[in-house]
């Protein structure tokens, strides 16, 4: 084997090829550092004499289906100049590692397109080895995303472990990268993120988020110049929740008055956008009947539909005007649920109107949360939170979330 193949295939540039051994499914390449590269660690002199040697083995990328091991002669030598005795430094593997850097790169390439379990089978090493290599790589490249150029972010929390435990994710809305992953959903969860924002000198202009008071407080305190934006999806959810509550109340009343319940089973029809109602399934007709019988529900439904036009307003002035009229109608309806929604919208109107200037939303984060769920499912039985977080930081680089 030529020394140039040793370099191009295995990253060994200073070695002589001594020979090959075949053992079962394994190819063992024996190498030794060329004399001219033995250099005193103290004075730099190359004038050295041998003082013993030992052999060490390193896993290297496979050749086809064969595993490859580099068996290197590690030399001890004495410096004739200063008299110190050294063991040569290994330049193709990290300290205390039993695999070459080329093997690390090979594993990382595999991990980008398959699970740890798959990579382990192909590479013929343990699950832990693959995980350790990937963890070091992720730590180095993804754990500290650059914040300096970041302008628009989204913050959202999501449940892990069926609602008992939460994680908070901050996303760069321009590049789609995860900027921060924290455990919990309190103001303290975001503290490390604010610290990094301050150090980076980032000038974040707008933050998309939901109406979670702890985060609102935290953003106001830590990014006093940034505009908070509640996106329309959260407002829509607020109104839909109100409508469902009203339907439940009215349903209970019907039962109490011994009436035949007509508003049973129409919850989804109420929440659907009117344009999406299916003609062939009589959805329109079914909804129409329920609304005709029930005036408060009808009122609430039409106001819900009307509110969607708020996001069609193209200036803050028009939006203000529109919301004012909507709130007046909600109050005039006398329906408590609607009045409550009107109050919430009024209290948050400036952050709702902010959407007109900064049309950002946490929508991209919702998509990411789905990927995280897949990651979590694949990682069942796997409890390393730090690793899980690193995988989330790197999630934009893989088409599918792979773990386990």
Closer by beta carbon to Zn ion, 49 or else 255: 49
Q: Which residue in the set 1, 5, 42, 85 belongs to the binding site for Zn ion (CB under 5 A)?
A: 42
Minimal distance, residue 381 CB to Zn ion, in Å: 53
Minimal distance, residue 132 CB to Zn ion, in Å: 35
Determine the Cα–Cα distance for residues 166 and 161; give it in Å rounded to an integer: 8
Which residue stretch of 82-90, 159-167, 173-181, 251-259 sits at the interface with Zn ion (rule: CB under 5 A)? 82-90
Q: Which residues contact 206 (CB under 8 A, 6 or more apart)?
A: 151, 152, 153, 226, 227, 228, 229, 354, 358, 360
* 81 lines the binding site for Zn ion (CB under 5 A): yes
Q: Which residue in the set 45, 274, 289, 344 belongs to the binding site for Zn ion (CB under 5 A)?
A: 45
Determine the Cα–Cα distance for residues 48 and 77; give it in Å rounded to an integer: 6
Which residue stretch of 34-42, 126-134, 264-272, 392-400 sits at the interface with Zn ion (rule: CB under 5 A)? 34-42
Confirm if 403 and 375 have CB atoms less than 8 A apart.
Answer: yes
Closer by beta carbon to Zn ion, 79 or else 402: 79
Number of CB atoms found within 10 A of residue 225's CB: 7
Reduced 3-state DSSP string for 214-231: HHHHHHHHHCCCCEEEEC
* 87 lines the binding site for Zn ion (CB under 5 A): no
| Rg, C-alpha atoms of the chain | 32
Among 194, 193, 229, which residue's Cα sits nearest to residue 211?
Answer: 229
Determine the Cα–Cα distance for residues 24 and 226; give it in Å rounded to an integer: 64
Minimal distance, residue 56 CB to Zn ion, in Å: 23
* 297 lines the binding site for Zn ion (CB under 5 A): no
Q: Which residue in the set 29, 69, 70, 79 belongs to the binding site for Zn ion (CB under 5 A)?
A: 79
Minimal distance, residue 42 CB to Zn ion, in Å: 5
Q: Which residue in the set 63, 82, 346, 347 belongs to the binding site for Zn ion (CB under 5 A)?
A: 82
* 48 lines the binding site for Zn ion (CB under 5 A): no
Q: Which residue in the set 12, 29, 31, 40 belongs to the binding site for Zn ion (CB under 5 A)?
A: 40
* 43 lines the binding site for Zn ion (CB under 5 A): yes
Determine the Cα–Cα distance for residues 331 and 334; give it in Å rounded to an integer: 6
Closer by beta carbon to Zn ion, 40 or else 123: 40
Give me the long-range contacts of 285-294 (CB less than 8 A, separation at least 24): 289/262, 290/262, 290/263, 290/266, 293/262, 293/263, 294/250, 294/262, 294/263
* 49 lines the binding site for Zn ion (CB under 5 A): no
Provide the binding-site residues for Zn ion, judged by CB under 5 A: 40, 42-43, 45, 79, 81-82
């Amino acid at each position: 084997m030529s020394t140039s193949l040793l370099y191009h295939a295995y990253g060994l540039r200073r070695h002589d090829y001594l020979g090959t051994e075949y053992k079962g499914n394994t190819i063992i390449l024996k190498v030794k550092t060329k004399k001219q590269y033995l250099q005193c660690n103290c004075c730099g002199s190359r004038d050295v004499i041998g003082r013993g040697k030992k052999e060490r083995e390193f896993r290297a990328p496979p050749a086809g289906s064969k595993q490859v091991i580099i068996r290197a002669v590690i030399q001890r030598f004495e410096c004739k100049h200063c008299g110190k005795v050294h063991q040569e430094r290994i330049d193709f593997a990290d300290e205390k590692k039993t695999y070459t850097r080329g093997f690390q790169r090979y594993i990382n390439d595999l991990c980008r397109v398959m699970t740890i379990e798959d990579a382990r089978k192909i590479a013929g090493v343990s699950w832990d080895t693959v995980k350790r290599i990937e963890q070091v790589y992720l730590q180095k490249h993804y754990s500290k995303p650059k914040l300096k150029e970041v302008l628009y972010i989204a913050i959202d929390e999501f449940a892990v472990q069926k609602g008992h435990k939460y994680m908070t994710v901050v996303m760069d809305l321009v590049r789609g990268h995860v900027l921060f992953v924290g455990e919990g959903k309190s103001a303290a969860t975001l503290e490390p993120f604010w610290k990094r924002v301050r150090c980076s000198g980032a000038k974040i202009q707008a933050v998309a988020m939901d109406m979670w008071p702890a985060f609102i407080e935290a953003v106001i305190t830590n990014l006093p110049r940034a505009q908070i934006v509640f996106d329309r999806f959260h407002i829509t959810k607020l109104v839909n929740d109100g409508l469902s509550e009203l339907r439940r109340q009215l349903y209970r009343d019907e039962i109490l008055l011994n009436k035949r319940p007509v508003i049973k089973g129409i919850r989804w029809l109420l929440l659907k956008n009117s344009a999406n109602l299916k003609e062939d399934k009589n959805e329109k007709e079914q909804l129409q009947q329920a609304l005709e019988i029930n005036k408060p529900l009808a009122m609430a439904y039409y106001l819900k539909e009307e509110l969607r036009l708020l996001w069609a307003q193209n200036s803050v002035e028009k939006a203000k005007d529109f919301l004012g009229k909507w709130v007046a109608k909600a109050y005039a309806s006398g329906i408590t649920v609607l009045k409550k929604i009107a109050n919430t919208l009024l209290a948050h109107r400036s952050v709702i109107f902010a959407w007109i200037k900064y049309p950002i939303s946490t929508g991209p984060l919702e998509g990411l949360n789905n990927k995280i769920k897949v990651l979590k499912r694949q990682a069942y039985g796997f409890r390393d939170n730090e690793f899980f977080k690193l995988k989330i930081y790197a999630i934009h680089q893989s088409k599918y979330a792979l773990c386990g």
